[in-house]
Structure 1
Amino acid sequence: MTQPSLSVEERDDRVHVVLNRPDVRNAIDQAMVDELHAVCEGLEATPRLLVISGAGGTFASGADIRQLRERGRAEALAGINTRIFQRIAALPMPVIAAIDGYALGGGAELAYAADFRIASTTAKIGNPEVGLGILAGAGATWRLLELVGETVAKEILLAGRVLNAQEALALRLVSEVHEPDALLEAAHVLADRILANDPAALMATKRVLAAPREAHPDIDLQEQAVLFESDAKRERMTAFLDKRGPNRTKK
């Protein structure tokens, strides 16, 4: 019987997915892609925050080279990894990638699709695809430009630069760095901080952030119009004002 490629822990407010092929450094194969689609289907139906990490001290070493070697034009155009990473990026609630050890190739592109990236001190992030005769075709050529800028993106994509944790932090590719044994706890602390906010406001903000420039400001106003009529807005603002009391206008 084939072992699952993912280990999935479900909570009321979040789902923690562990990439679980440690014998091949969590290389992303078709089975893992299929299982990630199933996770996304559940999170689209019942929105919850997603935490993604890897087993065995590695986030993901890349796409499974044995499968990748056999793929041709049709598979390239199908965008096997591209589609799942797009789906993860478009999930209604925020996504956190907890990067321990290697996040290379498709593993790095999976991390780039997350809303938040935090890293362990052992993290190594890069895209060595050109050395294998292909390009980083599952999001790196445009997400990485947005995340770190053209100069660094070209160093990574064309010259094979691999970022360590401190370099990634300095570039704000990751927002936090922790010791490996503290990484998952830090991911859940970040999740708690995010989830202290109103879910509808979180989802609306994520949709607005993903909208093209020409959609603004109309999309902001439309989303705000819905939130302005919500019970959560009234309850949260009332609680805020009650907490501050009569001195609330003072700075």
Structure 2
Amino acid sequence: MPQNLLIKGPEKGVRLLTLHRPEALNALNTALLGEIAAALDEAEADPETRAVVITGSEKAFAAGADINEMAARDLVGILEDPRQAHWQRIARFPKPIIAAINGFALGGGCELAMHADILIAGENARFGQPEINLGIMPGAGGTQRLRRALGPSLTMQLVLTGEQISAERALQAGLISEICPTELTVERAIRIAEIIAEKAPLAVRLTKEAVHKAADTDLATGLRFERHAFTLLAGTADRAEGLKAFQEKRKPQFKGC
């Protein structure tokens, strides 16, 4: 049983993961990252889970890495850090992830949020990469994902100063897609996940992959992938069901095939 992670569902196709280290503002230690990765592995294997919501508390989504654990590592421990494998498992998750972010999303917490496909923030959310204040730098994708989301200037400002930005500034810069009242953030994220969970699973997976290709490849390569994926979906039973349901003016019943 996870010790630092609360798991609920799936309900209506949605599994809710809640970071639960209140004494440490949900700081991401090795154990918590391992539990997140294992929960996502389980969600990937479960056909009833079609989307995942990740959240923390109203005070902190995740306030960063566990500094006490980090300080205890020597160079060998850093080189053999098992957290890197956990991060890779999280990054490879093929189903949609929606992050419901309240309070602090700093350092590893900001990086975890950026592993999500859709980021919904409460009015009290704060984002930042303060690693520079410890004489280090982001190490779980912060420099790369932040650059793709915010552009070079604001990214440089955040990672070189350690400053934080508000939810409003994050929305203006394109890091998040919505701001909600703090008490409604998780509810809104779950509702978005439920809407996605009603769609054809194969189409959702390939659409997610195609959008990510836009950041990983040149335009011509991305367009080739999009055309290939579109062609694959044309032969699915879900595509036939979607067209038939539209003609019959009813809700489609997608099966994932």
TM-score of the pair, normalised by structure 2: 0.88
Local SS of the residue matching 1:11: strand
Residues 1:213 and 2:217 are matched in the alignment: yes
2:123·2:167 contact (CA, 8 Å) conserved in 1? yes
Which stretches in structure 1 are left out of the alignment for 5+ residues?
Answer: 245-251
Greater displacement, 69-78 / 186-195: 69-78
Conservation of the 8 A alpha-carbon contact between 2:118 and 2:177: yes
Structure 2 letter corresponding to 1:21: R
Q: Distance in 2 between matches of 1:82 and 1:112?
A: 16
Aligned residues of 2:103 and 2:124 also touching (Cα < 8 A): yes
Match of 2:96?
94
* Counterpart amino acid of residue 21 in structure 2: R
Unaligned residue ranges in structure 2 (runs of 5+): 251-257
1:243 and 1:44 map into 2 onto residues whose CA distance is 32
> Aligned letter for 1:9?
K
Please tell me the residue identity of whatever aligns with 1:4.
Q
Specify the SS of the correspondent of 1:33: helix
In structure 2, which of residues 70, 73, 77 is the aligned counterpart of residue 71 of structure 1?
A: 73
Structure 1: how far apart are the matches of 2:175 and 2:50? Answer: 23
Q: 1:56 and 1:190 mapped to 2: Cα distance?
A: 19
Residue of structure 1 equivalent to 2:195: 193
Instruction: Name 1:60's counterpart in structure 2.
Output: 62
Question: What is the rounded CA distance, in whole Å, between the counterparts of 1:181 and 1:170 in structure 2?
Answer: 22
- Of stretches 84-93 and 231-240 in structure 1, the one that deviates more from structure 2 is 84-93
Range with bigger deviation, 165-174 or 187-196: 187-196
Q: Report whether the alignment pairs 1:226 with 2:232.
A: yes
Q: Distance in 1 between matches of 2:174 and 2:74?
A: 35
- Cα distance, 1:7 vs structure 2: 0.6
SS in 2 for 1:173: coil
What is the aligned counterpart of 2:246 among 240, 243, 251? 240
SS of 1:168's equivalent? helix
- 1:80 is displaced (CA, Å) by 4.0
Distance (Å, rounded) in 1 between the aligned partners of 2:30 and 2:239: 43
C-alpha RMSD of matched pairs (Å): 2.0
User: Percent identity between the aligned chains?
Assistant: 34
Q: Which residue of 1 aligns with 2:255?
A: none
Q: Output the amino acid matched with 1:39.
A: A
1:197 partner SS: coil
Report the counterpart of residue 45 of structure 2 in structure 1. Answer: 45
Maintained 8 Å contact 1:50/1:94: yes
Answer with 144-153 or 183-192: which moved more: 183-192
SS at match of 2:163: coil
For these two proteins, the number of residue pairs brought into alignment is 243
Counterpart of 2:168 in structure 1 is 166
What SS does the corresponding residue of 1:219 show, helix, strand or coil? Answer: helix
Q: Provide, for residues 102-160 of structure 1, a one-character-per-residue CA deviation record: whole Å limited to 9, x for no partner.
A: 01111111001111111111101101001011111110110000011111101110012
Counterpart of 1:229 in structure 2: which amino acid?
A: G
- Quote the offset at 1:84 in angstroms: 2.7
Structure 1 residue 82: deviation in Å?
4.1
* 1: CA distance, partners of 2:154 / 2:182: 26
Kept after mapping to 2: 8 A contact 1:21/1:55: no
Conserved 8 A contact 2:122-2:167: yes
Amino acid at match of 1:213: T
Question: Relative contact order (C-alpha < 8 Å, sep 6+): which is higher?
Answer: 2
Superposed displacement of residue 14, structure 1: 1.7
